[in-house]
Amino acid sequence: MTRLIIDIHDPKKEKEVAEILLKIGGVEIERAEASPRKSANGKTKIKRALTPKEKKFVGELRQALKEVNDHITGKKKFQSAREFLHGL
Higher pLDDT, 71 or 37: 71
Q: Is residue 24 part of a domain?
A: no
Q: Are 48 and 59 in contact (CB under 8 A)?
A: no
Considering the domain boundaries, does residue 2 fall inside one?
no
Q: Phi-psi bin for 74: left (phi > 0), alpha (psi -120 to 50), beta?
A: left
Q: Above 90 in pLDDT, residue 6?
A: no
Cα-Cα-Cα-Cα torsion 75, 80, 84, 87, nearest 10 degrees, comes to: -100
Q: Quick one: pLDDT band at residue 40, thresholds 50, 70, 90?
A: low
In a domain, 41, yes or no: no
Query: Measured between alpha carbons, how far is 28 from 18 in angstroms, rounded to an integer?
Result: 10
- Mean of the per-residue pLDDT values for the chain? 84
Q: Considering its fold, how many domains does the chain have in total? A: 1
Q: Is residue 71 part of a domain?
A: yes
pLDDT at 43 over 80: no
Residue 53: domain span: 49-88
> How confident is the model at residue 5, as a pLDDT?
82
Q: What percent of the chain has pLDDT over 90?
A: 26
